[in-house]
Structure 1
Amino acid sequence: LAGGGLDVLVSNAGIGLSGPLELHDEAAMEAEFQTNLLGGLRMARAVLPGMRARKAGLILPVSSQLGRIVMPNMGGYCSGKWGLEAAFEAMAYELAPLGVEVTIVQPGGYPTRIWETGAKAVEAMIARNEPERVRAYAQHIAITRASMTAPRRSDPMDVAHAIAALIALPAGDRPLRRPVHPDTSVTTAVNKALSDVQDRVLSRGPYAAWRAAVSG
């Protein structure tokens, strides 16, 4: 931003709250959905009037591999990220005729503070639950705690470099999704399979041109 309009929005706020879904009380789900889904949509709504007026702009919501894949003990997190993926794919089609692009960034597990803050949120959530529920999910809780502290050796700068590369691409050449991780094979396969489904759903009718304008 240098005296003109906002060119790019990166929505990267996230909370990594895990554990079995029965233990996710309203406070836990509120924190996850407000941060991982609704926060990104609020930010997009704030910047879109200016981008639409200029018929240019790029929105980069940061999702996750778990926005396309489901893991036990990660149901709350997956739900928010799946919602993010759906919302911003729909937005990509809606913005296609208005000159604004969307690329959904899909990182894998990186060693950032999301694990530290998530572990604190998990312990607070467990403490709010009735003892019977906690006892019933003892094995799940042990797996959850181990996963939050497991070593992750990938470089978080991978994500920053991927975002910079997306911004540098010419308008019209950016993909709808960009997986980021040393191993993106599973995410890429899921993206390809669901992209084929979207082609079948939208290749005819009033949205065909919008779908054609969105790559992937």
Structure 2
Amino acid sequence: MVKEESRREWYAEQTIKNGWSRNTLEMQIKSGLYERQAIANNKTSNYHKHLPELQSDLANEILRAPYNFDFLTIQGKAHERGIENALITHIRDFLIELGQGFAFVGSQVSLTFDDQEFFVDLLFYHLELRAFVVIELKNTKFKPEHTGQLGFYLAAVDDQLRKPGDNQTIGILLCKSKNKVIAEYALRNISAPIGVSEYTLSKSIPTDLKGSLPTVEEVEAELNESAKEN
């Protein structure tokens, strides 16, 4: 039996909010979504510095640490473009992992300046944020120069794609690994709203989480209890 009632309540709330099926709920529990999304201390971003409070709170809420891409079937060494193509092939699973509100716009989206062409890895629009979201994939550990490149893409999307009524474009940088302190230093003086996270291709659950994960039955009991109260 799970000791932390807050976990069960959170999963119950997310099930209602996102309309999860039983299978999706079970998948999210096994992936440790509560630890990856609900715990702010695990996250690295500068959203609070560059976005209005309500928008920055939502942007930080949707950020996950890490992202779990265990639905991909990549053989051998994974390259950035290979991971990107696999995510597009499994776009339904990718959207479930990103969370509610994300709409896929395109991959390798072209941005042209005079005779130079640049390509955004993955471009989404978030319906609740009312903003474009640029996701940049790096199959390496985090490097400070990555934030400069992503900041450039955010400015370009704001200038070329953003429409009246859209909010400022935000960025999510996904790396194979990151040092939290280095990432925080790199974001400190960057003027673009960027979140830095890691991704994993592994199906394994950290040992310290296994004993604390609720079962689907426990969350369903929480949902039934909530329904009775209402």
TM-score (norm 1): 0.26
TM-score by length of 2: 0.25
**Which structure has more strand as a fraction of its residues?**
2
